[in-house]
Structure 1
Amino acid sequence: MRQRRHGGTARRFLHGTLAGLLGCMLLWGAGFAWFVHDALKAPGRPPMADGIVALTGGQGRIEASLRLLADGRARQLLISGVAPHATIASVAGALQPDLAAGLPPGIWQQVTLGRHATSTIGNADETAQWARANGLHSLIVVTAGYHIRRAIMEIHRTLPDVALTPYAVRPPALRSPLRGSSLRLMATEYDKWLMAGLGLARNMATRGQT
């Protein structure tokens, strides 16, 4: 009898565990579907802001932020996470010729290069230092669609009193979103966003693990 009771308890435990795992997988899948849909949305015209911050790490981000600056959406721009030895001249030289030629004279005087950030958390800290130093109360945040949610979350943690407007660009990786490499990228970014929401990413960074 005792063996039967133990066997029944083990089966119930196994069934409960499998049901829990299946439920977690379904929740993850539903959240991921929403995340992909959100990442692919085209950005709207942002409201006027005190500043713009472009987070480097993918194509189209610097170009989009410069277009917003040239359009007068803000009076200054931080390009966060450039290489330590980058200069305004090297950043300008990497632009497409048609964009570079169409920028208004003197626009680079409104641009600051942030050379210290090497992660999203680093971007957030660098943005906070720049915004406080310049007395900014509203920012347009420019990054890829799959990165924008996590970027806004981390920057809000460092600048809780600053209004943040997301401006998501669609990089080449999202032009074919159903490609295996694109789905793997977005799944990775989705997991990072979940970890950031739980506060795990910043805790790991504080301990020197990321």
Structure 2
Amino acid sequence: MLRRLASFLVIAWALGFVWFAAIPPQPIGAGRSDAAIVLTGGDGRIQRALAVLGKGWVDKILVAGVDSEVRPREFAAEYEVSARTMARCVALDQVSVDTRTNAREAALWIAANKVRSVRLITSDWHMRRAAWELAKAAPDVEIARDAVRTKPSFRILFIEYHKLIARRIAHVLGY
């Protein structure tokens, strides 16, 4: 009995990993959301959020996980954002330090700004866990998953798959 259970778990783990690695979330095209939440930490994420803002698909963006030493003026210069756009449309979260706190801070910002729908922007390999965390932190918000395509290494996929499993288990256990 124990051997069968162990075999089942190994097969389920392996099939889950194949699904996770072989079928990553994809970018989405045109579509309207109240705001975009972009998680820092990967190439192309912030550029994607600014492009979405520029196309009018969202009215504002929250950049979650910005280093506490980065000033809005520096951010604007780095990403060529006008002062007007920064003042009206771009908010920087400099409190969060990981995916879980990104979601928590984003939920606070969502509530403060009365946002009902968001476009979540992060790397394809990170999207599943990020969307899950955001859905837990802001359950009443519609989340459109807008993944930035990457070419992650096996190592990144392996680690991220296990982080996703660990967070779901921790949630079930009440953490």
Is 1:54 the counterpart of 2:54 in the alignment? Answer: no
Which of 85, 104, 117 is the aligned partner of 1:107? 85
Provide the secondary structure at the position in 1 that maps to 2:12.
Answer: helix
The CA distance in 2 between the partners of 1:158 and 1:167, in whole Å, is: 18
> 1:82-102, CA deviations, whole angstroms, 9 ceiling, x for partnerless residues?
01121222223333xxxx3xx
* Matching of residue 166 in structure 1 with residue 162 in structure 2: no
Q: CA deviation at 1:200?
A: 4.4
User: Structure 1 residues 77 and 143, CA, compared in 2 at 3 Å: closer, same or farther?
Assistant: same
**Is it true that 1:24 corresponds to 2:3 in the alignment?**
no
**Counterparts of 2:58 and 2:34, CA distance in 1:** 5
Residue 165 of structure 2 is matched in structure 1 by 194
**TM-score for both structures, normalised by structure 1:** 0.75
The unaligned stretches of length 5 or more in structure 1 are: 1-15, 205-210
**1:153 is aligned with what amino acid?**
W
Q: What code does the residue aligned with 2:134 have? A: I
**Counterparts of residues 121-160 of structure 1 (less than 5 Å):** 121-160=100-139
Aligned residue in 1 for 2:156:
185
Larger relative contact order (C-alpha < 8 A, sep ≥ 6)? Answer: 2
Distance 2:133 2:108 in 1: 14
Q: Which amino acid aligns with 1:147?
A: H
The amino acid across from 2:155 in the alignment is: R
C-alpha deviation, 1:197, in angstroms: 2.1
Partner of 1:42: 26
Q: CA deviation at 1:146?
A: 1.0
Identity of aligned residues (%): 29
Rg larger in structure: 1
Unpaired runs of 5+ in structure 2? none
How many equivalent residue pairs? 174
Alignment TM-score, normalising by the size of structure 2: 0.89
**Displacement of 1:194 after TM fit?**
1.3
Q: Is 2:131–2:145's contact at 8 Å kept on the other side of the alignment?
A: yes
